[in-house]
Structure 1
């Protein structure tokens, strides 16, 4: 969660400074997307384990 929050803040700063479509903003956004997908996948896995 710390890394997700860090990347959210970093992406916002980059986007405000260099633009939302700057290569650096896009790269950070993609890294954040990967982490969010991983987090959601882990949450789902844990929910399924609790049901069993």
Structure 2
């Protein structure tokens, strides 16, 4: 599941880079939509991957 998400994130990143170069603007509405989509995917990945980590034990 996380590996699939990483693939999707990479595709979104590549698409965003290409789109921003083609539009020649980081404030173009289409670029902003693509950026938000990538942000959402990254946030979801971070949320899910944190569940896979061991919880802290409180011991040093």
Q: TM-score, normalised by structure 2?
A: 0.75
Q: When you count helix as a share of all residues, which structure comes out higher?
A: 1
> How many residues of Structure 1 are paired with residues of Structure 2 in the alignment?
51
Unaligned runs of 5+ in 1: none
User: Relative CO higher for 1 or 2, CA cutoff 8 Å, sep ≥ 6?
Assistant: 2
Decide which structure has the larger Cα Rg and report it: 2
Q: TM-score, normalised by structure 1?
A: 0.86
After superposition, the CA RMSD in angstroms is 1.6
Post-superposition, which runs of at least 4 consecutive aligned residues in structure 1 deviate over 4 A? none
